[in-house]
Structures are given as C-alpha cells and as structure tokens.
C-alpha cells in the first residue's frame, strides 16, 4: 500500500542522500538539498539513512495514506496537519490508513522533508532514488509530483512513533544568514573594490531559487580590465569554460550571484568568485526568497573545522535517535 498524492505542492520531489560519482558526465549529485534535515526525518521514523524522503519546496503537498505508517516532518517550518489537526515537526507521529497529511503555510526556511517508515520505494537509478528533474532521472518518473501520483512505500525498517529530535539539534531558519565561502578559483578577476563589495553587500535571495541554483541580488561587482582569452566570451564575467563545483558562486555580468546546488550544471563559462563551504550548503538550501545573506570569507583551516563540527552534529543526531 502506498501514498496517494491529492495535491502536489509547488515542487515536491523524491530525494535521498544523492547520486555521487557521475558529475564528470554531467549528472549532478542531486539528493536532499538540506541533508541534515533529511537525515533527521529518516532517523525519526527508523529508516536506513539512504531511504528516500519527500522534499517539499515553499509549500507542502496533500497526501493520503493507504496503510498505517510512522511519519516525520523536518527542515523548514512548514507545520504538518493530520486530518486538519496540527502535528509536531521534528517528532515522529502515527498516521492511520486513509488519513490525509497536509501542511499550513511556510513560517520560515524553504524546504521541508517528509519521511515515512519504510521509505518512498521508487526504483533506484544509478544507485539513488533522488529526482533529477532536468535530466528526467530517478524519483517518480524523473519529475516533481503531480496530483494523482501513487507513491510506493517500502517494507524495510520503521520505528514506532514518538521519537523526537532534542531542541538543540533542531535547525532554525533566521531571515538573515552568514554563509561561509572560500574565495576562488576566479576571484583574481575581481578588482579590490569588487572583492570588497562581494564581502560587504547584503544579498537578497530572488524568486529564482531552485535545486539548480539560488540567485541573489544586492550589488554589482567590478571586474578587472582584460583582453578576453581565446574561447571566453566578451563579457568581463566570462571565462574559458570550466567545471562548476557544487556550491560555487558564479556572477554573470557582475550582478546577481548564483550559488549552485545539488542539481547544478557541471560546467560553463562564468567566473566563480567563491565556493560555499560544504558545511553551510544545508543553510543555503533553507534560505527563502526575500531572505538575506552575507558571504563571509574563510580559509581552508576554518572550513575544515566547520566540516568536522558538522560531522559531529550528524553523529549527535544519530545517537539521539538510535
């Protein structure tokens, strides 16, 4: 028995830990953009860490359960409702056969994760159930959910309801964030003033913010004069095509920096002035349009320290929900 999609929400997709290893042939890692919240949802319902969840962007779906299940909602503050009655987030709860899970409007953050005991059992493609919609790959038929879809539920694992993530381990979603970046690989193309502007500006997330990338607005970056090398476009923000790391920040035309996320294109011809450290990519995913961000330059050492701290937080989550 599965879950029937009565309303799909805005951009709801099946995601998991991702599909690493194929970016060299243009297939991005995909997977939940906020991996921390996605893991928390799976642990709450007793699933394996690589079970598939639903990622709900800005708006929740309406789902009818064909059989009883344990369910958890984490990530953005998108209050869950069961049969119209509030249910807690960051806590697992029981859903009976025939009951309908829906959501109130978004209070903060951008992406909520819904885990169901057993996991969403769509076929794995290249080792992952994650949806890569631009490539029509994985998930349910390679696309976002639509009304009338039937989602199969697996029978592996599952825990009784009542698990709860301790308060200190729940993500919060402020309207303003500081996101740590390492400068490069093309920051030498900025003037000193351009570098200063990048670091000091308050960047506001636009409505062009999806799984491929998040586009911000707030200032114009000045580039150094140069003669375009062979193969590069004539705009000062053009480079000879290069691979795009996940988290890299490209700035077409010197306006509107774009942070690439887990459905990114693998390469192109725009300068990447900096790259978000891996530990802060979950936070990037939880910025909503109209929220603000400042990019804070860090070096390799604090970047690695942040990564260790994130790993310790994931470990604390596993221990709390074991």
Partner 1 sequence: MSGAGGPGAERAPTVAIRSPLPGVFYRRPSPDFDPFVEVGSPVEPDTTGALFELMKQFFEVPAGTTGTIAAVAVADAEMVDAGQVLFTVRGS
Nearer to partner 1 (CB atom), residue 107 or residue 196:
107
Q: How far is the CB of 288 from partner 1 (least distance, A)?
A: 5
Q: How far is the CB of 231 from partner 1 (least distance, A)?
A: 30
Q: How far is the CB of 58 from partner 1 (least distance, A)?
A: 5
> Which of 170, 204, 307, 313 is in the footprint of partner 1 by CB under 8 A?
204
Using CB under 8 A as the binding rule, whether residue 106 contacts partner 1 is answered as yes
**x-or-dash pattern for partner 1, window 231-270, by CB under 8 A?**
----------------------------------------
Nearer to partner 1 (CB atom), residue 108 or residue 278:
108
Span near partner 1 by CB under 8 A; candidates 94-102, 124-132, 220-228, 285-293:
285-293
Using CB under 8 A as the binding rule, whether residue 202 contacts partner 1 is answered as no
Q: How far is the CB of 59 from partner 1 (least distance, A)?
A: 6
Give ∠ CA 67-70-71 in degrees, rounded to 5.
105
* Cα(139)–Cα(128) distance, integer angstroms: 8
Q: How far is the CB of 167 from partner 1 (least distance, A)?
A: 23
> Which of 17, 36, 44, 58 is in the footprint of partner 1 by CB under 8 A?
58
Nearer to partner 1 (CB atom), residue 98 or residue 174:
174
Q: How far is the CB of 90 from partner 1 (least distance, A)?
A: 19
* List of residues contacting partner 1 (CB under 8 A): 10-11, 57-59, 105-107, 110, 204, 206-210, 288-290
């Amino acid at each position: 028995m599965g879950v029937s999609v009565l309303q799909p929400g805005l951009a709801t997709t099946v995601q998991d830990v991702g599909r690493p290893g194929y970016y060299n042939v243009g297939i991005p890692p995909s997977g939940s953009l906020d991996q921390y919240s996605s893991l928390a949802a799976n642990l709450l319902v007793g699933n394996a860490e690589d079970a598939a969840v639903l990622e709900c962007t800005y708006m929740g779906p309406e789902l009818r359960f064909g059989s009883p299940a344990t369910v958890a909602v984490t990530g953005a503050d998108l209050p869950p409702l069961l049969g119209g009655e509030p249910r807690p987030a960051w806590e697992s709860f029981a859903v009976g056969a025939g009951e309908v899970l829906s959501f109130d409007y978004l209070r903060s953050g951008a992406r909520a994760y819904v885990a169901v005991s057993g996991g969403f059992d769509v076929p794995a493609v290249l080792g992952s159930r994650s949806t890569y919609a631009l490539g029509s790959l994985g998930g349910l038929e390679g696309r976002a959910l639509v009304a009338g879809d039937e989602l199969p539920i697996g029978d592996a694992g599952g825990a009784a309801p009542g698990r709860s993530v301790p308060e200190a381990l729940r993500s919060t979603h402020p309207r303003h964030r500081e996101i740590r970046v390492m400068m490069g690989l093309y920051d030498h193309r900025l003037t000193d003033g351009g570098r200063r502007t990048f670091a000091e500006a308050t960047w506001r997330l636009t409505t062009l913010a999806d799984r491929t990338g998040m586009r911000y607005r707030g200032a114009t970056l000045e580039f150094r004069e140069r003669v375009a090398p062979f193969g590069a476009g004539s705009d000062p923000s053009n480079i000879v095509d290069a691979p795009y790391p996940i988290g890299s920040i490209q700035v077409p035309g010197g306006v509107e920096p774009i942070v690439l996320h887990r459905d990114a294109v693998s390469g192109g011809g725009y300068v990447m002035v900096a790259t978000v450290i891996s530990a802060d990519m979950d936070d990037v995913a939880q910025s909503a349009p109209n929220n603000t961000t400042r990019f804070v330059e860090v070096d390799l050492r604090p970047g690695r320290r942040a990564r260790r701290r994130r790993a310790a937080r994931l470990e604390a989550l596993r221990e709390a929900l074991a």
